[in-house]
Amino acid sequence: MKVKILTIVILTLFIVSCSSSDNDPEPEAILGCTDPNSNNYTASATQDDSSCEYGTAKNLEIPEIFSNLLLPPLIPSNNPQTIEGIALGRQLFYEKKLSGDGTQACASCHFAEFSFVDPDRFSTGITGAVGTRNSMPIYNLAWNFENKYFWDGRALGIEGQALGPVENPIEMNNTWPNAVATLQDTPNYPDLFAQAFGTTTITKELITKAIAQFERTIISGNSRFDQYLLGDNGALTVSEINGFNVFMDEDRGDCFHCHGSESNPLWTDNIFHNNGLDTSFEDLGLGMVTGDPLDNGKFKSPSLRNLAYTAPYMHDGRFETLEEVINHYSEGLVYSETIDPLMKNIAQGGAQLTEADKTDLKVFLLSLSEPGFTTNPDFQDPN
Beta bridge partners of 118: none
Contact mark string toward ligand HEC, 135..174, x via CB under 6 A? xx-x----------xxxx--------xx--xx----xx--
Contact call for residue 96 and ligand HEC (CB under 6 A) = no
Residue 303 contacts residue 268 (beta carbons within 8 Å): yes
247: closest CA among 220, 271, 239?
239
Helix (H, G, I), strand (E, B) or coil at 363: helix
Within residues 254-273, the interface with ligand HEC by CB under 6 A covers: 254-255, 257-259, 273
Provide φ and ψ at 47, rounded to 5°.
Answer: -135, 125
In 188-207, which positions are buried (b, 16+ CB within 10 angstroms) versus exposed (e)?
Answer: ebeebbbbbbbeeebebebb
CB of 356 to ligand HEC, least distance (A): 15
207: closest CA among 171, 187, 173, 181?
181
Residue 360 contacts residue 246 (beta carbons within 8 Å): yes
Residue 224 contacts residue 235 (beta carbons within 8 Å): yes
Contact call for residue 236 and ligand HEC (CB under 6 A) = no
Contact call for residue 307 and ligand HEC (CB under 6 A) = yes
CB of 53 to ligand HEC, least distance (A): 23
Within residues 118-137, the interface with ligand HEC by CB under 6 A covers: 123, 125, 131, 133, 135-136
CB of 344 to ligand HEC, least distance (A): 9
CB of 56 to ligand HEC, least distance (A): 23
Contact call for residue 301 and ligand HEC (CB under 6 A) = yes
CB of 310 to ligand HEC, least distance (A): 5
207: closest CA among 97, 110, 116?
97
CB of 39 to ligand HEC, least distance (A): 26
Contact call for residue 299 and ligand HEC (CB under 6 A) = yes
| For ligand HEC, the closer CB: 34 or 223 | 223
Distance CA 285, CA 298 (A): 5
Q: What is the CA radius of gyration of the chain?
A: 28
Provide φ and ψ at 153, rounded to 5°.
Answer: 70, 20
Site residues, ligand HEC (CB under 6 A): 104, 106, 108-110, 123, 125, 131, 133, 135-136, 138, 149-152, 161-162, 165-166, 171-172, 211, 253-255, 257-259, 273, 275, 277, 299, 301-302, 304, 307, 310, 313-315, 325-326, 329, 340, 342-343, 361
